[in-house]
Amino acid sequence: MPVPRQIMALPLLVLCANALATRQVSIPPFLFEAILYAPIDDTNSTAKIGNGNIFFTLYKKEPAMWDSLTLENADKEKLQYLRENAVLKAQQKAKEETEAKKATKEEHKKYALEATMKLEEAERKRIEDLKEKERQKVTEELELWKNQQKDADKYKSVQKEGELHQEIGQLKERKNEKMTKTRIPNEGTSKSRPKPTKGHASCSIFSPNVKEEQLPAPRSAATIKVNFTPRVFPTALRESRVAEEEEWLHKQAEARRTVSADLSELEDLKEEEKNPDWLKDKGNKMFAMGNYLAAVNAYNLAVRLNNKLPLLYLNRAACHLKLRNLHKAIEDSSKALELLTPPVPDNEGARVKAYVRRGTAFCQLELYTEGLQDYEAALKIDPKNKNIEKDAEKIRHLIQGTMQGS
C-alpha cells in the first residue's frame, strides 16, 4: 500500500486496508499482517474495523524518515524470526498487563479491607464509648443516691438527738416536780413535830424509812402462755406434699440466714446496702424505671451477699433479656430453677417465670426446639395460662416452617 513520503516523516501513520480487496486479510488467523520498517508504540496504536475497512493508527517510537512502510528484501528466516519475536513480546506484554491488573486488584482489595477494618474499629470504639458513658452515668446516679442516703441518715440522727434531748428535759422536769411535791408535805410535818433530842438521828425526806414508804409494792410473778396457729397448706391432706413443702420452707429460712460474701470486703456499704432484700427492691425499682444496667448492678451485689435466693437470679434474667444478654439470661434462669426445688405450690409462679424467660432466650437465639420444651414445661405447671399457650403454638409453627424450608 503506497504512502506519501511527507506522511512517513511524521510520528503518526494512518493506514487503511480494504478487507474485500486484500486476499490475505480473509485468511485466518490474520486480519492483516505487515512487517513494518521500524518499531511502533503498541500501547497508543489502534486498529478499527468497520464497513469492510480496517483503519490502523500507528505511532512511531522514534520520529524519523522511513524508506518504506514495510521491511523489504528480507528472507523468510528473518521474517520468521521477527514474527516469533513479535509474538513473544506480545505474550510477555499481555502477561505483564495481567500481573499488573492482578496487583492492582489485590491493592484495591487490601485498601477495601483496611477501610472496612477502620469502619469496624470506629464502630467498636463508638459502642465502647457509649458503654463507658452509660457506666459513668449509672455510677454517678449511684453516688448521688448514696449521698442522699447519707444526708437523710444525718437528718434522722439529728432529729433523734433532738427528740432524745427533749425527752430527757421532760423527765428532768417531772423529777423536779415530784421532788418539790415531796418536800412540801415533809416540811409541814417537820414543823409540827417536836425537835429531836440530842444523840438521835434527825429525820429527813432522804431517810431509809421515808424511801421505803414511797416505793410501790413489787409485782406478782406470772406465766404467759403463747399459742401459734398451725400452717395450713393449700392442697388437700391426701394430696399434700407436706415433706417437700417443709423442705422448701427450711431451705428458704436457711437462705435468709446465709451470707455468701465476705463482709470485710463490703465495709464501704451502709447497713441497708448489706441487706439482699433491700437490694432486690432497689433492683426492682430500677427495672420499673427502665434502667436495666443499674438493676443488674443491684442484683449482682445482692447475689454476692446471698447466692441462695432464687428470685435474685430470676429478676436478673429479666434484665438480661431486656439488654439482649441472652446467654446470661439462660444461665440465671437455669440457676433459679436449680434453687426452686423441691417443686411445691408455693414456688409455682417463680418456676413458670423461669421456664418462660429461658424459653424466650432460646427462641431469640433461634433454638426453637429448646425454647418449646421450656414453654411446654411452663404449661404443665400452669395449664390455664392462655398467653403461654399462644406463644408455644407460635413456636411450633416456626419449627414446622423451618423443617419445611429445609
Indicate the average pLDDT of the chain: 77
Chain Cα centroid distance, residue 193: 93
Q: What is the pLDDT of residues 65-91, one digit of tens each?
A: 887 877 777 777 877 888 788 888 888
> Concatenated DSSP letters for 356-387?
HHHHHHHHHTT-HHHHHHHHHHHHHH-TT-HH
Q: What is the pLDDT of residue 70?
A: 78
- Model confidence at 291, pLDDT cuts 50, 70, 90, reads very high
Check residue 306 and give its pLDDT: 86
Domain boundaries, the chain: 21-104, 275-400
pLDDT greater at residue 184 or residue 45: 45
Q: 275-400 has which CATH code? A: 1.25.40.10
**Run of H or E residues at 192:** helix 76-192
Is pLDDT of 4 > 60? no
> Which letter, b or e, does each residue of 347-367 get, where b requires 16 or more Cβ atoms within 10 Å of its Cβ?
beebbbbbbbbbbbbbbeeee
Identify the pLDDT of residue 290: 93
Higher per-residue pLDDT: 127 or 239: 127
Q: What is the pLDDT of residue 21?
A: 30
- In this structure, of 124-138, 231-245, 307-321, 327-341, the range with the lowest mean pLDDT score is 231-245
Residue 348 has pLDDT above 50, yes or no: yes
Residue with more model confidence, 287 or 208:
287
244, pLDDT greater than 80: no
pLDDT of residue 93: 85
Q: Among the ranges 65-69, 240-244, 304-308, which has the highest mean pLDDT value?
A: 304-308
Q: What is the 3-state secondary structure (H, E, C) of 263-277?
A: HHHHCCCCCHHHCHH
What does the pLDDT average to over 184-190? 48
Q: Supply the pLDDT for residue 27.
A: 47
Q: Can you tell me the mean pLDDT for 105-115?
A: 92
HSE-CB at 292 with a 13 A cutoff on CA atoms is 12
Task: Reduce the DSSP state of residue 21 to 3 states and report it.
Answer: coil
Reported as a pLDDT band with limits 50, 70 and 90, residue 317 is very high
Cell of 294: 443499674
Q: What is the pLDDT of residue 100?
A: 93
pLDDT digits (tens, 9 = 90+) for 272-284: 777 888 888 999 9
Q: For position 266, what pLDDT does the model report?
A: 59
User: Which cell numbers hold the place of 116?
Assistant: 472496612
| pLDDT greater at residue 44 or residue 135 | 135
Output the pLDDT for position 8.
38
Distance from the first to the final alpha carbon of the chain = 71
Percent of the chain having pLDDT more than 90?
34
Q: How many CB atoms lie within 10 A of CB 336?
A: 26
Query: Is the peptide bond preceding residue 342 cis, with omega within 30 degrees of 0?
Result: yes
Residue 166 has pLDDT above 90, yes or no: no
